[in-house]
Structure 1
């Protein structure tokens, strides 16, 4: 039986999925990182129904990931802009995209590449230790109980 909600789970991944775990939400975030801000532009790019988009945008605004900014008060038109909390999802979206490039589309079929602005060379994002700078992967780290751990 599929769980309808992970809200009662003491797990950061489960709690994050409560907000961004629906696939339309991830595509809205992808487009937000690509500079899309307007409702009609999301509809056009994604082919999403207006009612589904409204629901997803409302949730992203309510959870502080997007901010709604009026650009035409008279007609009730808004830009949807990433907040600091939303921009903090960049590494998640980037590593998910890179995984899809490598394991789904294959080398040479990447729809988007990253260019390092300061040096104008292509790059990929990598996780590194914030203390020593060494690369991190599943073999170089282990999970230990944190301050919010429960039995």
Structure 2
């Protein structure tokens, strides 16, 4: 527990992000929410996750502000889990993970899904890191600096 508190309070944004949404189930829930899954039963069916674990993960994502609970869009008595602005901002994270997996984790000729844009039905462009001037950046082209938020 002490190590988790250290990660949650780390000056490193990667460590804090991993502590917040870095476990596989949280990311799979977020992925499914991007696919318009909204109800507990739909998440449970797609993920095959035990109800108590799914409940805890959804509760945590709501507490973090990644998801919010809303009345069902069809007017039924059900509640739905909907991505917030914070949750929708995780889209590039999920796409980056997807693209890394597509590139390195499938053998030649192995079937897998791809992400297509709705307008052109073409695979989305590979996410890259660029400078504000538009130059492609590698890890060797970057460094970290400690700053204070709001200053």
TM-score bracket, shorter-length normalisation: 0.7 to 0.9
Mind listing any 5+ residue stretches in structure 2 that lack a counterpart?
none
1:145 corresponding residue in structure 2: 145
TM-score by length of 1: 0.82
Deviation at 1:146, TM superposition (A): 3.6
Aligned length: 146
> In structure 2, what is the Cα distance between the partners aligned to 1:20 and 1:129?
24
Q: Using the TM superposition, give the Cα deviation of residue 68 of structure 1 relative to its aligned residue in structure 2, in angstroms.
A: 0.6
| Aligned-residue offset at 1:115 | 2.1
Give the equivalent residue in structure 2 for 1:27: 28
* Distance verdict in 2 for CA 1:33–1:106, change over 3 Å: farther
Q: Which residue number in structure 2 is paired with residue 89 of structure 1? A: 90
1:110 CA displacement: 5.5
Tell me the SS of whatever aligns to 2:8: coil
Aligned-residue offset at 1:142: 1.2
Q: What RMSD in Å do the two structures reach over aligned CA positions?
A: 2.4
Q: Which has the higher strand share?
A: 1
Q: Take 2:95 and 2:18, find their aligned partners in 1: how far apart are those partners?
A: 17
Which TM-score applies when normalising by structure 2?
Answer: 0.82
Q: Distance in 2 between matches of 1:118 and 1:54?
A: 35
* Conservation of the 8 A alpha-carbon contact between 2:4 and 2:19: no
